[in-house]
Amino acid sequence: MKKPTKNTIAIIGGGGHALVVFEAAGAAGLKIAGCFDDDPNCSLKEYCGFLGDLESAGKRGEMAAIIAVGKVSTRKKLISALDGVFAGVVHPTSWTSPTCAVGEGTLIGANVVVQGRTNIGAHGIINTGAIIEHDVLIGSNTHVGPGAAIGGGVRIGANCLIGIGARVLPGVKIGAGATVGGGAVVVEDVPPHTTVMGVPARG
Protein backbone atom coordinates (compact mmCIF):
# COMPACT_ATOMS: atom_id res chain seq x y z
CA MET A 1 0.00 0.00 0.00
CA LYS A 2 1.37 3.42 -0.96
CA LYS A 3 2.47 5.55 1.96
CA PRO A 4 -0.05 8.38 2.40
CA THR A 5 0.67 12.07 2.50
CA LYS A 6 0.29 13.87 5.83
CA ASN A 7 -3.28 15.00 5.13
CA THR A 8 -4.52 11.70 3.70
CA ILE A 9 -6.84 9.42 5.65
CA ALA A 10 -8.70 6.18 5.05
CA ILE A 11 -12.35 5.66 5.97
CA ILE A 12 -13.27 2.47 7.80
CA GLY A 13 -16.82 1.73 6.72
CA GLY A 14 -18.70 2.15 3.48
CA GLY A 15 -22.34 2.92 4.30
CA GLY A 16 -24.43 6.01 4.98
CA HIS A 17 -22.48 7.33 7.95
CA ALA A 18 -19.25 6.79 6.01
CA LEU A 19 -20.61 9.15 3.35
CA VAL A 20 -21.18 11.80 6.04
CA VAL A 21 -17.59 11.37 7.24
CA PHE A 22 -16.26 11.36 3.66
CA GLU A 23 -17.96 14.66 2.85
CA ALA A 24 -16.90 16.27 6.15
CA ALA A 25 -13.31 15.21 5.56
CA GLY A 26 -13.37 16.64 2.07
CA ALA A 27 -14.83 19.92 3.31
CA ALA A 28 -11.99 20.04 5.89
CA GLY A 29 -9.40 19.73 3.13
CA LEU A 30 -8.36 16.14 3.84
CA LYS A 31 -7.53 13.74 1.04
CA ILE A 32 -9.31 10.38 1.11
CA ALA A 33 -7.17 7.36 0.24
CA GLY A 34 -10.28 5.16 0.03
CA CYS A 35 -12.48 3.03 2.25
CA PHE A 36 -12.38 -0.34 3.96
CA ASP A 37 -15.60 -2.38 4.15
CA ASP A 38 -16.63 -6.03 4.13
CA ASP A 39 -18.85 -5.29 1.13
CA PRO A 40 -16.63 -4.66 -1.92
CA ASN A 41 -19.66 -3.01 -3.57
CA CYS A 42 -20.41 -0.67 -0.66
CA SER A 43 -22.04 2.63 -1.55
CA LEU A 44 -19.01 4.76 -0.64
CA LYS A 45 -16.97 2.98 -3.32
CA GLU A 46 -18.78 5.21 -5.82
CA TYR A 47 -16.95 8.24 -4.41
CA CYS A 48 -13.52 6.93 -3.43
CA GLY A 49 -11.24 3.96 -3.88
CA PHE A 50 -11.84 0.60 -2.22
CA LEU A 51 -8.91 -0.52 -0.05
CA GLY A 52 -10.09 -3.89 1.25
CA ASP A 53 -12.17 -5.55 3.95
CA LEU A 54 -12.42 -4.44 7.57
CA GLU A 55 -9.78 -6.90 8.75
CA SER A 56 -7.26 -5.44 6.33
CA ALA A 57 -7.87 -2.00 7.83
CA GLY A 58 -5.75 -3.15 10.76
CA LYS A 59 -2.83 -3.72 8.40
CA ARG A 60 -2.84 -0.30 6.77
CA GLY A 61 0.60 0.65 8.10
CA GLU A 62 1.19 4.36 8.67
CA MET A 63 -2.05 5.45 7.06
CA ALA A 64 -4.31 7.35 9.44
CA ALA A 65 -7.98 6.33 9.49
CA ILE A 66 -11.33 7.14 11.03
CA ILE A 67 -13.98 4.57 11.94
CA ALA A 68 -17.06 5.65 9.99
CA VAL A 69 -19.71 3.20 11.18
CA GLY A 70 -22.71 4.66 12.99
CA LYS A 71 -23.73 1.67 15.14
CA VAL A 72 -22.09 1.92 18.57
CA SER A 73 -21.74 -1.84 19.16
CA THR A 74 -20.04 -2.38 15.79
CA ARG A 75 -17.72 0.56 16.40
CA LYS A 76 -16.78 -0.88 19.79
CA LYS A 77 -15.68 -4.16 18.16
CA LEU A 78 -13.68 -2.33 15.50
CA ILE A 79 -11.94 -0.17 18.09
CA SER A 80 -10.87 -3.30 19.98
CA ALA A 81 -9.75 -5.13 16.85
CA LEU A 82 -7.92 -2.43 14.91
CA ASP A 83 -4.51 -0.93 15.55
CA GLY A 84 -2.82 2.03 13.94
CA VAL A 85 -3.14 5.79 13.82
CA PHE A 86 -6.60 7.32 13.99
CA ALA A 87 -7.49 10.81 12.81
CA GLY A 88 -10.38 13.03 13.74
CA VAL A 89 -12.53 14.91 11.24
CA VAL A 90 -13.91 18.36 12.02
CA HIS A 91 -16.39 19.89 9.58
CA PRO A 92 -15.47 23.52 8.86
CA THR A 93 -19.00 24.76 9.63
CA SER A 94 -18.72 23.52 13.23
CA TRP A 95 -17.40 25.51 16.18
CA THR A 96 -15.44 23.97 19.05
CA SER A 97 -14.20 26.09 21.94
CA PRO A 98 -10.41 26.23 22.23
CA THR A 99 -10.75 25.14 25.85
CA CYS A 100 -12.17 21.74 24.80
CA ALA A 101 -10.36 18.42 24.45
CA VAL A 102 -11.38 16.03 21.67
CA GLY A 103 -10.07 12.46 21.48
CA GLU A 104 -8.55 10.79 18.43
CA GLY A 105 -10.77 9.41 15.71
CA THR A 106 -13.74 11.62 16.60
CA LEU A 107 -16.12 13.21 14.09
CA ILE A 108 -17.35 16.74 14.75
CA GLY A 109 -20.09 17.10 12.13
CA ALA A 110 -21.54 19.98 10.17
CA ASN A 111 -23.02 22.87 12.21
CA VAL A 112 -22.04 21.33 15.55
CA VAL A 113 -21.33 23.65 18.51
CA VAL A 114 -19.12 22.47 21.38
CA GLN A 115 -18.83 24.94 24.24
CA GLY A 116 -16.02 25.55 26.71
CA ARG A 117 -14.22 23.00 28.89
CA THR A 118 -15.97 20.05 27.30
CA ASN A 119 -14.05 16.77 27.02
CA ILE A 120 -15.00 14.31 24.25
CA GLY A 121 -13.43 10.84 24.33
CA ALA A 122 -11.79 8.98 21.46
CA HIS A 123 -13.80 7.61 18.52
CA GLY A 124 -16.88 9.66 19.28
CA ILE A 125 -19.49 10.98 16.89
CA ILE A 126 -20.93 14.43 17.45
CA ASN A 127 -23.33 14.37 14.55
CA THR A 128 -24.89 17.07 12.38
CA GLY A 129 -26.22 20.10 14.23
CA ALA A 130 -25.68 18.77 17.77
CA ILE A 131 -25.10 21.27 20.58
CA ILE A 132 -22.80 20.41 23.48
CA GLU A 133 -22.84 23.00 26.23
CA HIS A 134 -20.05 23.89 28.67
CA ASP A 135 -18.24 21.48 31.02
CA VAL A 136 -19.66 18.31 29.47
CA LEU A 137 -17.79 15.00 29.70
CA ILE A 138 -18.49 12.45 26.95
CA GLY A 139 -16.90 9.00 27.12
CA SER A 140 -15.20 7.16 24.28
CA ASN A 141 -17.22 5.73 21.38
CA THR A 142 -20.36 7.66 22.24
CA HIS A 143 -22.63 8.81 19.40
CA VAL A 144 -24.50 12.08 19.93
CA GLY A 145 -27.12 12.08 17.19
CA PRO A 146 -28.12 14.87 14.80
CA GLY A 147 -29.79 17.83 16.45
CA ALA A 148 -29.29 16.58 20.01
CA ALA A 149 -28.68 19.16 22.74
CA ILE A 150 -26.59 18.38 25.81
CA GLY A 151 -26.84 20.80 28.74
CA GLY A 152 -23.97 22.15 30.80
CA GLY A 153 -22.17 19.83 33.20
CA VAL A 154 -23.69 16.62 31.78
CA ARG A 155 -21.69 13.41 32.17
CA ILE A 156 -22.13 10.73 29.48
CA GLY A 157 -20.33 7.40 29.75
CA ALA A 158 -18.57 5.39 27.06
CA ASN A 159 -20.44 3.49 24.32
CA CYS A 160 -23.67 5.47 24.62
CA LEU A 161 -26.16 6.51 21.95
CA ILE A 162 -27.96 9.83 22.31
CA GLY A 163 -30.71 9.75 19.67
CA ILE A 164 -31.72 12.31 17.07
CA GLY A 165 -33.11 15.47 18.62
CA ALA A 166 -32.77 14.26 22.21
CA ARG A 167 -32.36 16.76 25.05
CA VAL A 168 -30.29 16.12 28.16
CA LEU A 169 -30.83 18.65 30.94
CA PRO A 170 -27.88 20.27 32.75
CA GLY A 171 -26.04 18.17 35.32
CA VAL A 172 -27.59 14.82 34.34
CA LYS A 173 -25.40 11.69 34.37
CA ILE A 174 -25.86 8.98 31.75
CA GLY A 175 -24.14 5.68 32.49
CA ALA A 176 -21.91 3.73 30.13
CA GLY A 177 -23.68 1.75 27.43
CA ALA A 178 -26.98 3.60 27.83
CA THR A 179 -29.30 4.58 24.97
CA VAL A 180 -31.43 7.72 24.87
CA GLY A 181 -34.20 7.49 22.28
CA GLY A 182 -34.74 10.07 19.58
CA GLY A 183 -36.64 13.12 20.81
CA ALA A 184 -36.38 12.11 24.46
CA VAL A 185 -35.94 14.72 27.20
CA VAL A 186 -33.69 13.39 29.95
CA VAL A 187 -34.38 15.10 33.29
CA GLU A 188 -32.73 12.64 35.69
CA ASP A 189 -29.76 10.29 35.78
CA VAL A 190 -29.79 7.22 33.54
CA PRO A 191 -28.18 3.99 34.86
CA PRO A 192 -25.59 2.17 32.75
CA HIS A 193 -26.87 -0.12 29.96
CA THR A 194 -30.39 1.30 30.17
CA THR A 195 -32.64 2.53 27.35
CA VAL A 196 -34.86 5.54 28.04
CA MET A 197 -37.44 7.18 25.80
CA GLY A 198 -40.14 9.82 25.89
CA VAL A 199 -40.82 13.18 27.55
CA PRO A 200 -39.70 13.02 30.26
CA ALA A 201 -37.46 10.06 29.44
CA ARG A 202 -38.27 6.78 31.18
CA GLY A 203 -36.91 3.26 30.96
Residue 123 CA, chain-centre distance (Å), reads 6
For the stretch 141-180, what's the b/e string if a residue is b when 16 or more beta carbons lie within 10 angstroms of its beta carbon?
bbbbbbbbbbbbbbbbbbbbbbbbbbbbbeebbbbbbbbb
Strand order in 143-144's β-sheet? Answer: 89-90, 107-108, 125-126, 143-144, 161-162, 179-180, 195-196
Of 70, 139, 144, 72, the closest CA to residue 114 belongs to: 144
Catalytic residue among 17, 91, 123, 134: 134
CB 68 within 8 A of CB 17: yes
Measuring CA to CA, how many Å separate 189 from each of 26, 93, 98, 165, 200? 38, 32, 29, 18, 12
Q: Rounded to whole angstroms, how far apart are CA atoms 160 and 68?
A: 16
- Whether 193 is a known active-site residue: answer no
Residues involved in catalysis: 134
